[in-house]
Every structure is written in structure tokens, then in C-alpha cells.
Amino acid sequence: MGLLGDSITIRGGKPLIGRIELKGAKNLVTKAMVASLLGETPSVLKDVPNISDVRIVRGLLEVHGVNVVEGVEEGELIFDPSNVESAHFADIDAHAGSSRIPILFCGPLLHRLGEAFIPDLGGCRIGDRPIDYHLDVLRNFGAVVEKLPSGIRMSAPNGLKGAKLELPYPSVGATEQVLLTAVRAEGITELKGAAIEPEIMDLINILQKMGAVITVDTDRVIRIEGVDRLEGYTHRALFDRNEAASWAAAALATEGDIFVGGARQGELLTFLNVYRKVGGQFEIHDDGIRFWHPGTPLNPVFIETDVHPGFMTDWQQPLVVALTKASGVSIVHETVYEQRFGFVDALVDMGATIQVHKDCLGGQACRFGQRNFNHSAVIVGPTRLHGADIEVPDLRGGFSHLIAALSAEGTSTVSNVGIIARGYENFITKLRLLGADFSTED
């Protein structure tokens, strides 16, 4: 999509059938790009998807003096950090857009330049998404954090030193912050309460290729021995398991049959179990996974989102659309983000029966239980969705709106679809390949 006009008109009710190919995971690739700042020599990253989050990070690297060029293979980027330099606050701000990635530049830039700036951070509108863990971690390494009206300035007058750290919650970003900072800090860092998502493990693979010494113990403990010098890396990014789960849900919701090339079983185990319980069919192949609707009624399920190895928060939104078609009552308890059910309003407008509740429904009490957040959803099916005019609220919610429109009877206009291009490469082309009936504004 040539970042098309911002809306598409979908004539729903047609099953999505065909094959699409995945590239590297957005949530690894963007961090791997930041890691290139730590090397003394160029890095080569393969399977980089053409998504706007990648373009944002590329722009941020370039304003910091990193030379970024395309390699010979499609999706290959080469990063040369020989001339890393401080960037102007206004340039960082202009390139960062609404991304949260600038916070992860801090450790590498403090090592290389002794200072770093971050503008006010955005990211998808899913709760407050604070950065307190990141700032605490950086302070513990010895960074001085100054809050300015337009953002945050950091410096490391005495260099960064390894630290004993413990996260209050296994945050993905804060764990990456620790990794990207500790690998070049003086001495040993021990992180308790770390997140262990596959994308984090792949970042550790990259850092080890660069020369880092990192041990992952049982019980969410990661130990890093700082080293004086890191080299560039050559790495093929882990596939995007969130995109895989999204297309799998699309196959269920539209009664279709989609082969997701590049998807692997290991990183999707938990998703596949739930998919099977809903009634979804799948077949694991060497080069991908085929997902399809059984042709019989779907089953309701109870899902609790969690950090890895639990059911990922990013998988629930697309699956909720399929659950509106299951026969009975499903419950989704969201325990990672406090406000990730904004997207269901549009589904209700399309005829779904979904109620959101402040209580922790169906499972364990979570940290949002007593805090007035609508974080449990009850979905009653089966319902037939009908077309509507809907506006995309965030990345995953947006993809679920697309699926809802594709599975609905009649015509829908989905606006603000540019957000979906943050994380789904060529989704318009993929929809065409799968036989969707729609027209774009341009």
C-alpha cells in the first residue's frame, strides 16, 4: 500500500484463501537495529519487513550518524555505525513520531557518546504505557536522568556500571533496555524478573554474535558480563509470530484457509493450543503453518493473556473476532495491558455481543483487578457481523477491525488504516492475494 489514503472499503463475507509469507518480527527487528549502534563494525540484518516502525528506527539511526543501506537480498539492511554522533533534539523528535523505540537508544548512545535524548513517547494507545522501569534501570547503571519540558536528557558522567536489578513485572522493553545497556557496562549485571519472549531470546542471540557474554538462568534471571568491545553481527530475524497469529485468526473468522509461510511451531505453541480448542485446524509444515476453519461451529474458550510462555496480549484482538462466531460464552482476561479492549466497541457496532468488565473474570486475580480498568471481556456467540464504518484505534485492534469487516455481511469502511502498516508488511497486497474484496481510496 503506498501508504494509501487512509481508508479502505471492504465487501465482506468472502473467505480468505491462499498463501502469504512472513518476514522478521517487528518486535525483534526494531531492537536488532538499535543493537547495531553497539558494534564497532557494520551489522547485517536479514528478513527486515517493510513496515513503518522499521522506517522510523532507520530514520533515528540515520540522524545519529549510522549509515543504513539495503543489501543484495530483499529485506536485508546493513548498518554502519562508524560515525555515530549526537543528534539534535528536534531531529529525534521529528523522526520518532509516536514510536516508543527511542527509549532503547539510551544505553547504546550513553556508551558511545556519553549522552542521549528522548522525546515524549507514544506507541499504540493501549493504556498509559509508562517508562518508569526503563528510567529506574538506566539510573541503576549510573545514568543521570534530567526531565526537560520537551523530553528527557540523559548523561553518564562516570560511565555505566553493571548492576543488580529486579523488575516489578517482566516487561519486554525494560528487559531489552537492560540487555542493550549491560553488554558494554563495566562488570556484571544480574537481572531478576526478566521477560523471556522469543524476540528477547533472538536479541540475545544477536548480542552473543557481537561478542557479548549473557547467561539465561531458570526463573527469569539473566546475567550479563560486560565487555569492552562488540563487533557487528549478521543475523536473519526470527519470524513474526504476532503476524502469524493474526492471519490464523483471519482464516477462522472468515471461514477461510491460509498458509502462513515462515511460521514455526515452537514460538506459537500456546497459540496453537488455544486455536485447536476453538476448533481451528492447523497443519505444521517445514516452511510454514496452514490454518483453516473446520466447517463446523467454533467452540467458546477462556483465555488469559500473559507474558511468555503464556498467551500473548497481541494475539487476543484478532482472535476475539473469531470468538464472536463461536457457539457460547468466551472470556478473555487481559493481564498485560490495562486498557486493551477499546477495539471491541466497533465489533459491538457491527452486531457482536461483547461486554467488558473491571473484574478479573475467569482466572487468577491480576494487578489490574482493584484498579478500575475494563480488562476482562465476555463474548457471546455465535453472531453474524454486519458492515459498519469503523476507525482503527491501534495496531492489533486495527487488524481485528479488518478481519471483522472481511467476515461481515455487507460493506464496511475502515478508516485510519495507516496504523496497521506500522506492523503488518504489505497487508493490502496480502489481502489481495487471499482473495479479499475491497477497494482503497487511491
Active-site residue list: 124
Question: Shortest approach of ligand EPZ to residue 411 CB, angstroms?
Answer: 27
- Beta pairing partners, 115: 155
CB 169 → ligand EPZ: shortest distance, Å? 5
Residue 80 labeled ligand binder: no
Q: Which stretch binds ligand EPZ (CB under 6 A): 86-94, 169-177, 341-349, 407-415?
A: 169-177
In this structure, what C-alpha cell is assigned to residue 140? 541503576
Region binding ligand EPZ by CB under 6 A among candidate stretches 40-48, 172-180, 341-349, 429-437: 172-180
Q: CB of 292: closest distance to ligand EPZ in angstroms?
A: 25
Asked if 435 touches ligand EPZ (CB under 6 A), the answer is no
Judged by CB, which is closer to ligand EPZ: 20, or 29?
Answer: 29
Cβ atoms of residues 167 and 193 within 8 Å: yes
The only residue of 10, 29, 34, 172 in contact with ligand EPZ, by rule CB under 6 A: 172
Q: Which residues contact 221 (CB under 8 A, 6 or more apart)?
A: 190, 191, 192, 194
> Considering only residues 173, 232, 393, 398, which one is a binding residue for ligand EPZ as defined by CB under 6 A?
173
Residue 24 neighbours by CB distance under 10 Å: 27
To the question of whether residue 100 is assigned a binding role by annotation, the answer is yes
3: CB partners within 8 A, 6+ apart: 52, 418, 421
Q: Which is nearer to ligand EPZ, 80 or 314 (CB)?
A: 314
CB contact set of 229 (below 8 Å; sequence gap of 6+) = 40, 211
Residues 300, 317: Cα–Cα separation, whole Å? 15
Pairing status of strand 438-440 against strand 7-11: antiparallel
Site residues (CB under 6 A) for ligand EPZ, limited to 186-215: 195
Specify the residue, 202 or 255, whose C-beta has the smaller distance to ligand EPZ: 202
Contact yes or no for 117/60 (Cβ under 8 A): no
The reply, when asked if residue 11 is annotated as ligand binding, is no
Q: Are the beta carbons of 133 and 171 closer than 8 angstroms? A: yes
Candidate list 77, 174, 366, 390; residue touching ligand EPZ; CB under 6 A = 174
Q: How far is the CB of 344 from ligand EPZ (least distance, A)?
A: 16
- Give 312 or 417: the residue with its C-beta nearer to ligand EPZ: 312
Site stretch for ligand EPZ (CB under 6 A), options 170-178, 180-188, 322-330, 352-360: 170-178
Per-residue x/- track, 10-39, ligand EPZ (CB under 6 A): ----------------xx------------
- SS3 assignment for 323-366: HCCECEEEEEECCCCCCCCCCHHHHHHCCCEEEEECCCCCCCCC
Cα separation, 152 vs 135, whole angstroms? 10
Residues near 251 by beta carbon (within 8 Å), at least 6 away in sequence: 16, 257, 258, 280, 291, 292, 293
Shortest reach from residue 285's CB to ligand EPZ, in Å: 25
CB-closest chain residue to ligand EPZ? 173
d(CA 109, CA 34): 10
User: What is residue 186's three-state secondary structure?
Assistant: strand
Q: Which is nearer to ligand EPZ, 241 or 293 (CB)?
A: 241
d(Cα 148, Cα 116) in Å, to the nearest integer? Answer: 13
Q: Say if CB 1 and CB 425 are below 8 A apart.
A: no
Site string (222-261) toward ligand EPZ, x via CB under 6 A: --------------------x-------------------
Beta-sheet pairing, 302-304 with 328-333: parallel
Kindly tell me which of 195 and 298 has the beta carbon lying closer to ligand EPZ. Answer: 195
Q: Which is nearer to ligand EPZ, 382 or 418 (CB)?
A: 418
- Chain positions 95 to 134 lying near ligand EPZ, rule: CB under 6 A, are 100, 124, 127, 129-134
Going by C-alpha positions, the residue among 37, 19, 40 that lies closest to residue 260 is 19
265-324 residues in contact with ligand EPZ (CB under 6 A) are: 312-314
Which residues are annotated as part of the binding site for UDP-N-acetyl-alpha-D-glucosamine?
100, 314, 336
Interface ranges with ligand EPZ (CB under 6 A): 26-27, 100, 124, 127, 129-134, 169, 171-174, 195, 242, 312-314, 336-337, 395-396, 423
